[in-house]
Chain A
Amino acid sequence: MERLRWWGIGVLTALLLASACDRKLTAKENRAQGVSPTEIRLGSASALTGHASFLGTQLVHGSEAWFKEVNAKGGVHGRQIKLVSLDDGYEPMRTTTMTQRLLVDEEVFILFDYVGTPTSVKAAPLAKRARVPLFGLFTGAESLRAPVSPWIFHVRDSYYAEAEGAIALFVDHFKFKRIGVIYQQDAFGQAVLSGAQLALGRRKMEPVAAESFARGSMDIDRARDAMKQAQAEAVIMVGTYSPLAKIVKTSHDSGFEPWFHTVSFVGTEAYARELVETQKVAPDKCKRLIVTQVVPGPLSDLPGVREYRELAKKYFPEDAPNYVALEGFLNAKVLTEALTRAGLGLDRDSLPKAIESIHDLDLGIGKRLNYGPSDHVGIKGIYYSRLDPQGHFDLMDVGGATP
């Protein structure tokens, strides 16, 4: 009887403990979705139509130029790379639905070649939730870089790096004391403004004026007048090429001729066209127009850039060489390297490790790429470009530059 009682208690307790520990398995996942023995499907959501369409189409063309060449040579471990490209029109809410469509309906392996800060900011939490790598964003937003996300990987450096580069040029090299900032009212504008404030703060300075204008608006008069009133020697501008070109032109017309800088996202070639063809900025005033770049000049003589021009001409002969397409090309090259390193057992968990294993990768662009578990930015540092009288932004020799 006694023994029976002890057995009863033991069995009951064991049953309860077992039931308490029994958790049902969570939803099944296919970590190698989009990868077959013959194909790797990548998904891109970018601006293929609308005012930022140049950025989306050129980024994708640059990547496609490389992938087409890789595929023509047999692919990666026998797998052809297919880039499924959807249009988000640079509208953040459409980025969300397009990203969903890529993951759910198109069943892509990873997300690739996204354009813009507000749009990428929408895609990032989805990538994190789905535990899908998001690779090669055409944005330098710091919020997508720090803290380092295990799922987000960049090829280009940040807007903070671009702002630091501009401030270093104006303050350290040209010895300017009065720096103003005009920024677009959105996440992109805030990102670069923060970078400029931090860079000035490191030099115990602050902007002499900081003014904003509405996204998509050409109403820039108030911001321009604020810079003129503050007698800025250099103005950091953040926005799309049309309002920025108007700021430059109307400033010149009013006799206000500071150095104007903007970051790579502007779309350098479109900005140059807008300045020279639409706003008709006088050639003698071009040298004070700077764009910081995160990739070398598309016409430069570096071996990696020559390769880009050759393949772009082969697969997209209608496109003129440009910074955006070169960035897309480099995104594709780095990703291909990682896909190759991940091997036949490629999945969404092995790819991040493969990317992080890249050290000292030489793409022939004058800088070597390095990644690591706490470093998800490949190219470190920026390039300077300046408008020449022929209407092109060419790489600038900072050492020889004078105010």
Chain B
Amino acid sequence: MKLGPKIISSFVSFIVLFGVVSALATSLILDGRMQHEVKTSEVAFARSLSTRLFKSIKDKDVPTVTDTLLDELALRPEKLGYLMVLDKNGGRIAHTFLAPIPARLGSMVTSYAQGPGAYRVDRIEDPAVDVYDVSVPVLEGIVTVGSVHVGLRSDYLEGIKHDLVRTTLAVTLGIGLIALLVAVMLTRKIVRPVRQLTQVANQLSAGQLDVTLPDLHTNDEIQDLEASLAGVLAAVTTLMSEMEKQTAAPNAAPAPEGSK
């Protein structure tokens, strides 16, 4: 492979690989860290709902709880699949569904670790609802009187991840294109004088001494190469002219003794 394509392919390969690895790393990091952050923020939201609606939940005031849940859901429909409040036995008090409720949500686990910071995150994959069910207990003292459930849409989380990966890939593509331009320019800068010098060397090797060296001011190894080539050309020219002189001399004087 020629020097030009070699430089360009190496350069671009590196950039693309760097971008791909970055995108993969972003994806892996987001899978863990960011999803955890989002879920814990929903834990805080569920707790605030639990506090605000405590009396209504305890009194099973369905209209008030339903109304509040629907208002909250309307603020973030792209993020929340549902909001649901269950009683201590797992029976539904209120929810935000507007179509028959998926059977999978009829058997939610509502047992929590003891203590004020308790919460659960359950993955629910159902054809009708694909969410992370983030739930907290509704506590009266240390007694659980119900639970608040926030259905965090998995497609929302996937969407964030995909957006970031796509952005990384797009940036990589942009940088790759710029790298390609830079590589082409660099290659030209290096390869063109090398080609010119190669041409001169080829002419020399063909015995053509009346060559003109390119006027290079690269101030680098290529200029050193040109200087060396100029030296070689000068030496060859001198040698050739001396040889010509010697060839012409026998006609003017006898050959010295021992030259035969």
Contact = CB atoms under 8 A, between A and B. Distances in A.
Given A17-B169, A24-B155, A126 B130 contact: no
A12 B22 CA distance: 12
Given A97-B63, A104-B97, 15 more contacts: A9-B13, A12-B20, A13-B16, A16-B169, A19-B165, A22-B162, A27-B81, A33-B99, A93-B64, A93-B66, A94-B63, A97-B94, A103-B99, A122-B67, A125-B70
Contacts of B127: 27-28
Interface in B80-98: 81, 94-95, 97-98
A402 interface: no
Contacts of B67: 93, 96, 122
Contacts of B24: 16
B121 interface: no
B57 to A, nearest CB: 15
Contacts of A28: 127-128
Contacts of B162: 19-23
Interface in A1-59: 2, 5, 9, 12-13, 16-17, 19-24, 26-30, 33
Interface string B30-69: 0000000000000000000000000000000011101100
Contact of A129 (B9, B77, B129): B77
A282 interface: no
A342 to B, nearest CB: 20
Contacts of A125: 70, 74
A249 B231 CA distance: 123
Interface in A191-235: none
Contact of A13 (B9, B20, B74, B155): B20
A100 B98 contact: yes
A104 B101 contact: yes
Interface residues of B, number: 37
The 4 A-B pairs at the shortest CB distance, nearest first, are namely: A93-B63, A130-B98, A20-B166, A27-B128
A145 B171 CA distance: 46
Contacts of B129: 27
A394 interface: no
A391 B77 CA distance: 52
Among A19, A27, A132, find the residue whose CB has the most chain B CB atoms closer than 10 A.
Answer: A27
B209 to A, nearest CB: 40
A130 B66 contact: no
A21 B64 CA distance: 41
Interface string B94-129: 110111110000000000000000000000000111
A33 B74 CA distance: 23
Contacts of A103: 97-99
B16 A16 contact: no
Interface of B: 1, 9, 13, 16-17, 20, 23-24, 27, 62-64, 66-67, 70, 74, 77, 81, 94-95, 97-101, 127-130, 154-155, 158-159, 162, 165-166, 169
Nearest to A130: B98
A20 B128 CA distance: 23
Nearest to B70: A96
A6 to B, nearest CB: 8
Nearest to B77: A129
A349 interface: no
A107 interface: yes
Among B64, B67, B98, B130, find the residue whose CB has the most chain A CB atoms closer than 10 A.
Answer: B98
Nearest to B21: A12
A97 B16 contact: no
A87 interface: no
Contact of B155 (A23, A93, A96, A126): A23
B1 A23 contact: no
A24 B158 contact: yes
A100 B70 CA distance: 10
B100 A104 contact: yes
Contacts of B17: 9
Among A5, A16, A126, find the residue whose CB has the most chain B CB atoms closer than 10 A.
Answer: A16
Contacts of A107: 100
A94 B81 CA distance: 23
Contacts of A307: none
A213 to B, nearest CB: 25
B20 A96 contact: no
A132 B99 CA distance: 10
A9 B20 contact: yes
A91 interface: yes
Nearest to B173: A13
A182 B74 CA distance: 34
Contact of A27 (B13, B20, B130): B130
Contacts of A96: 63, 66-67, 70
Contacts of A105: 100
A172 to B, nearest CB: 42
A91 B98 contact: no
26 contacts: A5-B13, A9-B13, A13-B16, A13-B20, A16-B23, A16-B24, A16-B165, A16-B169, A20-B162, A20-B165, A23-B155, A23-B159, A23-B162, A24-B158, A33-B100, A93-B66, A93-B67, A96-B67, A97-B66, A100-B97, A100-B98, A103-B98, A125-B74, A126-B70, A129-B74, A129-B98
A268 to B, nearest CB: 30
A2 B165 contact: no
A19 B159 CA distance: 11
